[in-house]
Amino acid sequence: MTTVSASGKRVLLIIGGGIAAYKCLDLIRRLKEHGIGVRCILTTAGAEFVTPLAVSSLSAEKVYTDLFSLTDEAEMGHIRLSREADLVLVAPATADLMAKMAHGLANDLASTALLATDKPVYIAPSMNSQMWTHPATRRNLETLQNDGITIIPPGEGDLACGEVGAGRLAEVQDILSTVLQALKHDNPLQDLRGRKVLVTAGPTHEPMDPVRFIANRSSGKQGYALAAALAARGADVTLISGPTMLDCPPNVTRVNVETAQQMQTACAETLPVDAALCVAAVADWRPAQRATQKNKKSFAPAAGEEQKTQIDLVENPDILAWLSQHEHHRPSLVIGFAAETEDLLQHAADKLARKGCDWIIANDVSHVGDDAVMGGDNNQITILHRDGQDKWPRSSKTVIAEKLAARIAAQLGAMPE
């Protein structure tokens, strides 16, 4: 991915109505110090906390409010307002604004601009801790993450309402560095625009009963990094993810699944795609029976004997092989990952032939500990393809994802659309 300076970029800052709105004044000043243009929309509630004059003085631009006049609309329509920025930031994002965004409401300037934008959207929530933890806000948050919106999480501490807890606007410094980072990585190369890509990521959970399941140590980090890198190059990315702790990357559509069977169904619903990347550590087997009630310790071993039990397993669908051999919608490029603990390249070469994919990305996961590949931040891969293999140096999962996205773009670029 090409890294460019954030300077010269533009942010559309939507200031919601919360006591933390005053912190935006400092944020505007700091963004401008980094050479970033800041245009602001001040909601009606936001204007109760900071004045349009203060915002326009600091941003050195006209402030747009709900008193948006017909003259304004002629000069700068709300669509243009939402499109001229490189990034849209909502800070503070109130519970009300988040609910509007989650439901696609467009009944004021801020919500209309948010619905009309085609740019990455970042939100920094700020509210009372009960409101933050309320199931309705949790639901909205999940919807927003699945819509590809990036959350800059609130911190914990004293809240303006006198309570203590989560819901305090993230520190201005943290919002600033997230935005700078996003703008730096805003990739001018859009060579995957118009391409649809499916990425599977994370582990699968295969339940035996309502409380127990078979799983593995996959964190999902490599798959998520790939989804992010592909989306940054303009691809339309669907990330089909097993259970992970990760936030959905910007501009990626995430479908959450639990089991291998659900993952396959979600893949089927996403086809046709130009490229499929099977990064998930799919469980090869699932318990043959799924008890509806928690299994009990129901047997009594003889004295001195260890208890033994047996779980019958049945084979899960092999999603990579199924995609690679799909009768109607075989993607132009199908990529598998081979995590091995021994005879890495031999096993990976066998998989390339057996599953029928185009590339296998082989990585050695034998090392456990602080710098383990599974769950860790670094990786070392070898790409096996029909014409040979390329070993890449050890680097972070993000760098590997960026290099792989470039290679995928080159490969798809060489094929007819």
- Positions touching ligand C5P (CB under 6 A) are 200, 260, 278, 280, 282, 284, 316-320, 336-338, 351
CA-CA distances (angstroms) from residue 30 to 35, 37, 58, 196, 409? 9, 11, 10, 37, 36
For residue 197, give every residue at least 6 positions away whose Cβ sits within 8 Å of its Cβ, in sequence order, or none: 230, 235, 236, 237, 238, 273, 274, 275, 276, 277, 408
The identity of residue 286, as a single letter, is R
Closest CA to 86 of 151, 183, 178: 183
Q: How far is the CB of 5 from ligand C5P (least distance, A)?
A: 36
Q: How far is the CB of 144 from ligand C5P (least distance, A)?
A: 28
Answer whether 15's CB lies under 8 Å from 44's CB. Answer: no
Q: Which two tokens stand for residue 156?
A: 């914990």
- Cβ nearer to ligand C5P, comparing 17 with 220: 220
Residue 315 CB-density burial (10 A; 0-12 exposed, 13-18 middle, 19+ buried): exposed
Q: Quickly count: other Cβ atoms within 10 Å of residue 35's Cβ.
A: 11
Report residue 24: phi and psi, to 5°. Answer: -65, -25
- Cβ nearer to ligand C5P, comparing 231 with 278: 278
Q: How far is the CB of 328 from ligand C5P (least distance, A)?
A: 18
HSE-up (13 A, CA, CB side) for residue 259: 16
Q: How far is the CB of 317 from ligand C5P (least distance, A)?
A: 6
- Cβ nearer to ligand C5P, comparing 152 with 198: 198
Answer whether 214's CB lies under 8 Å from 259's CB. Answer: no
- Cβ nearer to ligand C5P, comparing 141 with 225: 225
Q: How far is the CB of 401 from ligand C5P (least distance, A)?
A: 15
The identity of residue 207, as a single letter, is P
- Cβ nearer to ligand C5P, comparing 116 with 372: 372
Closest CA to 229 of 190, 286, 178, 179: 190
- Cβ nearer to ligand C5P, comparing 243 with 317: 317
Catalytic residue among 161, 267, 278, 357: 161
Q: Is 161 a catalytic residue?
A: yes
Q: How far is the CB of 29 from ligand C5P (least distance, A)?
A: 47
- Cβ nearer to ligand C5P, comparing 85 with 373: 373
Q: How far is the CB of 323 from ligand C5P (least distance, A)?
A: 7
- Catalytic residue positions? 161
